[in-house]
Amino acid sequence: MSGADKPITPPLEHLPAEDAPTPVMKGIEAIRDTWKRLPMKPGVYRMIGADGEVLYVGKAKSLKNRVGQYAQGRGHTNAIYRMIHQTMSMEVIVTATETEALLLETNMIKRLRPRYNVLMRDDKSFPFIAIRTDHVTPVLQKHRGAKSFKGKFYGPFASAGAVNRTLNTLQKAFLLRSCSDSTFSGRTRPCMLYQIKRCSAPCTGLVNEGEYAALVKDSMDFLEGRSVELQDRLAVEMRESAEKLEFEHAARLRNRIRALASVRASQGINPHTFDEADVFALHVEGGQSCMQVFFFRAGQNWGNRAYFPRHGGEETPEDIMGAFIAQFYDDREPPKLILSNIEPTDRELLEEALCIRAECKVEIRKPERGEKREIVDAVLLNAREALGRRMAETGSVAKLLDGVAEVFGLSQRPERIEVYDNSHIQGTNALGAMIVAGPEGFTKNQYRKFNMKSEEFDGDDFAMMKAMIRRRFARMLSEREEPSPLVGEGWEGGRSDAQSSDSVTADRPPPPAPAPQGAGGAVADGGVDFSKERDEPERDSKFGAWPDLVLIDGGDGQLNAALEALDELGLKNRITIAGIAKGVDRDAGRERFFIPGKPAFRLDEKSPVLYYLQRLRDEAHRFAIGAHRGKRSAGIAKNPLDEIGGIGPARKRALLDRFGSARGVSRAALAELEAVEGVNKELAKRIYDFFHDNKR
């Protein structure tokens, strides 16, 4: 029987006890088995690995034809051969049209982050400027997220910094309030913003409703692209005021004109041939790429952002551009015009999908001449320079990591370094912190906090470090499905997404299988040898990832505590671990390093490797302290009354008004509690018992 004719193996629990299990199909056999039942219809297919990991998501105009290309088993690149070999099963969703397939594929790629797809790494939302009109006195503010209130929204801006700079100038020019409604209603005299001429103080009536409404309209005119007309009108009003000898009013108008001019001057490129567009420019070099995105709204440049998408070395620029644009607008509203230096793959299909999302016509254009071409060229220059800086930084970091490997006796450059620190005040609000760093800098989406319970360490720093290390690596073994005497212990302070399937042997785990990626919705082409590549350590395996180096913020005591935890897990000789202790008098540059079985040592005070290790230690300390302060603030905000059933906001307010604080409530007699409005005898008894019978 040929491989294509073999039946799918039923689940083991359905087999008779005396029957031996049929070998599970893998690779091209599994693909051919799925291919036999596929329709000639559009849809989305997923290739699934041995541990349930989604390897690749693709779309197809005809599922039968598309998957048939994989089922042929020839003519593929090394990357595709590797993906086919790792495939254990396929899942298919049939759609009505190819456009629906593209939209579904994009959504799945962003959600599942398959290793063989082009991935846009940054999912941060873009900030907007909002003028809230749900209050009689509109407010000017920065906004992210859902547009859940009535008002005008202007954006997107490339960064919070771009928004803040524009808001700062708008406050100078239009003097709109930026305070909350509660602050506004509680003011009896103007705040500092009025004193420094950033607000017209509508809260105290220093500007009447008509004048304030005119300021709001002027700010909307500016943000909607009518800035030139606005400046001309203000110039006329300034001259008229000067002729009437109203010099103070003329000076205010002059300052407003200057502020508006400064905004346009700082924006650099301001187009004349279109009002609204996003401009994409891709530069590829040395297997890496940079995508620069510029935002133009209301005829103004509202900033730019650089992206470095993840992809294999065989993807064409057209594939990268198409996959990136599709993912970029998966959760954002596209403008009517998109300019790019490269025409994306399936441009017409992509336009149709974006039209559905925007509910209007969207055009993707590669300009050949004129102002649009000049703007695209300027954006491309930014992409080229950004990629050059990144490659230079990566090269310098690579040298530093080589130095780290030499200092700590690693056999190869570390791809994943974990640094641990803890923070507490006399045992209260104890919190441990883990940061992760690698060739691309700090991997902040893998930072983790560990909420430590007092019974775990009883105020002992060494015991706290031991508990944190034990918890982290027990979780790692659990995700990697390795036996451990402590797997299953309680764990807090983080989350895990996908699991890692890497096996571990001898003293160190082998590098994970290389994972070049294919473009979204397309089979990768080209013939690149990936045999020496390593998969990105920061893929979705959060706690399943094996660190190349663990650094403990502390000396011999903390290091030995961490070693005890690793020994209990059977990992003592399988994890490279070291301690970094502050120098004499806590002087930076005089740190001592501790490695198990070796005497403490120091590095040259001018060593670049020392500076790098100091940065890692300081980042861990910063993260631990910040998380500890947040936990402490949350604890301060908690009130014991919140733990008593039957006490809502109104009764809580009545109790605090009567007794001043939760401590005052705890000291009150039962009769006094019963006298509070809204508190009956049963609730009064419950409150009294909570503070007197339940001593905590």
Closest-CA residue to 275 (of 329, 335, 229): 335
Q: Is 526 left (phi over 0), alpha (psi -120 to 50) or beta?
A: left
Pairing, β 89-94 against β 363-365: unpaired
Phi, psi torsion values for 16, nearest 5 degrees:
-60, 150
Interatomic CA distance for residues 70 and 48, integer angstroms: 14
Interatomic CA distance for residues 409 and 601, integer angstroms: 14
Interatomic CA distance for residues 688 and 569, integer angstroms: 47
| Domains of the chain listed by start with CATH number | 3-112 (3.40.1440.10), 277-391 (3.30.420.10), 408-500+540-633 (3.30.420.340), 640-692 (1.10.150.20)
Q: Which residues pair with 51 in a beta bridge?
A: none
Rg of the chain taking only CA atoms, in angstroms: 31
What is the maximal distance between C-alpha atoms in the chain?
106
Interatomic CA distance for residues 470 and 475, integer angstroms: 8
Q: Which residues pair with 57 in a beta bridge?
A: 46
Phi, psi torsion values for 416, nearest 5 degrees:
-140, 115
Encode burial over 605-625: b for 16+ CB neighbours within 10 A, e otherwise: eeeebbebbbebbebbbebbe
Q: Give the pLDDT score at 487.
A: 43
Interatomic CA distance for residues 259 and 173, integer angstroms: 6
Query: CA quadruple 185, 191, 193, 198: dihedral positive or negative?
Result: positive
Q: How many CA atoms lie within 13 A of 209 on its CB side?
A: 3
Q: Give the pLDDT score at 490.
A: 38
Q: Give the pLDDT score at 488.
A: 40
Interatomic CA distance for residues 324 and 330, integer angstroms: 10
Looking up tokens 């780290």 gives 404
What does the DSSP assignment read for 252-313?
Answer: HHHHHHHHHHHHHHHT----SS-SSEEEEEEEEETTEEEEEEEEEETTEEEEEEEE--B--T
Phi, psi torsion values for 51, nearest 5 degrees:
-100, 15
Q: Give the pLDDT score at 631.
A: 63
Pairing, β 417-425 against β 428-438: antiparallel
pLDDT tens for 74-132 read: 777 778 888 888 899 899 999 999 999 998 998 899 888 898 888 887 666 788 889 99
Burial class (CB in 10 A: 0-12, 13-18, 19+), 426: exposed
pLDDT tens for 583-615 read: 655 555 678 899 998 899 989 888 889 988 988
> What is the 8-class DSSP label of residue 22?
P
Low-confidence ranges of the chain (pLDDT < 70): 1-25, 122-124, 227-228, 259, 261-270, 424-429, 454-459, 480-543, 583-589, 628, 631-638, 693-696
Q: Give the pLDDT score at 587.
A: 55
Where are the alpha helices (H) located in 638-680, listed in sequence order?
649-659, 662-667, 670-674
Q: For the full predicted model, state whether its pTM sits above 0.85.
A: no
**Residues 413/401, Cβ–Cβ less than 8 Å:** yes
